[in-house]
Amino acid sequence: MTRSIRLVVVIGVVTLAAVVGFGLAGGASAQEDPTDANVTDVIESDSEADTLANQEEIRLESSTTLVGWEFADDQLRVAVEADRPTRVSMSDDTAGIGEAGATRVPVSTERVFDGTTVLVFPVEEFGGGHAATVGAGGESVRLSTDMDASGDDPFQYFGGESGLFSGMGLAVLTSLGGAGYVLWREDSGVIKA
């Protein structure tokens, strides 16, 4: 009897270990790794940098300056001017927004050399806008576009502000009308039961 119980316990433990092992392996292989976002293009050109929508100089470190940037077609285009070779990191700040749980933020690091270099990095759209962080030498800057603020209305489930206040006004008028009707119908006050 003892031997058969041991055999059942051993078979159960082996089966449980196999099920858990296959379950973990299947889950890990089905997940995407968003940290694989890479710079899709590196353009070493002053003229390309001049075509970017935002032409402002932002000093990232003593030898690296961001000289222009723009978001277009779900891509961030950044022009970096470096006095010496340096590494520039970019990350998508909207990755995973609107989704529950933990999200890996895609980060890409590219080495740039002396001169002006335009880097192209894929970004996600959220709320009609984009946001990304660009950094070099321990300093970073967040770049973003306007987001659609229509989802921020706390009264949106009541028809917005006008729907909420017109509903409240209708409720007050209805209750006043009901009270007026009761008082009009009562000729002699409260009737004793």
Cα–Cα distances (Å) from 106 to 22, 33, 35, in that order, read: 28, 8, 4
Query: Residue 118: is its pLDDT beyond 70?
Result: yes
Confidence of residue 188 (pLDDT cuts 50, 70, 90): low
Query: Residue 9: is its pLDDT beyond 80?
Result: no
Confidence of residue 185 (pLDDT cuts 50, 70, 90): confident
Indicate the number of domains in the chain. 1
Nearest-angstrom CA–CA distance, 60 and 140: 6
- Tell whether 59 is covered by a domain: yes
Confidence of residue 46 (pLDDT cuts 50, 70, 90): low
- Tell whether 176 is covered by a domain: no
- Tell whether 23 is covered by a domain: no
As a whole-number percent, the residues of the chain with pLDDT over 70 amount to 64
Sign of CA dihedral 35, 40, 45, 48: negative
Cβ of 140: how many Cβ atoms within 10 Å? Answer: 13
**64: containing domain:** 34-150
- Tell whether 22 is covered by a domain: no
- Tell whether 168 is covered by a domain: no
Q: In what order do the strands lie in the sheet with 58-61?
A: 41-43, 115-122, 75-82, 64-72, 58-61
- Tell whether 1 is covered by a domain: no
- Tell whether 8 is covered by a domain: no
- With a threshold of 0.95, does the pTM exceed it? no
- Tell whether 181 is covered by a domain: no
